[in-house]
Amino acid sequence: MKRTNFKPVGGVCLFALLLSLTSAIGSKRFATARYKETGLQTCFQPATMPEDCTTTNTGTLCTSTSGSITRTWYQGNSCINPFYKLP
């Protein structure tokens, strides 16, 4: 039976790798929010927002475009308080 020597440097490197992977996974969060589309006043059911949208109330109003339709994203169920993205 072959004996494997544990090297502290290898353990530290492995720990650092695992830590960086878990922090990268944790920072990639997808929020869902209600939205309105161009020309419609209907508040649609929650959908995944674009990644560059944040809940900071400064900056540019959070919108996304698909073809000729623009979606404006809102906080809450009433589609009154819009989401904003940082400039």
Digit-coded pLDDT (tens) for 3-53: 666 666 665 555 565 555 454 444 445 578 899 999 898 999 999 888 767
Q: Between 63 and 22, name the one with better pLDDT.
A: 63
Supply the pLDDT for residue 28.
45
As a whole number of angstroms, the distance between CA 70 and CA 68 comes to 7
Instruction: Give me the pLDDT at residue 17, please.
Output: 54
Higher pLDDT, residue 40 or 61? 40
Structure tokens at 34: 């209600």
- pLDDT recorded at residue 43: 92
Q: Please compute Rg for the chain using Cα positions.
A: 22
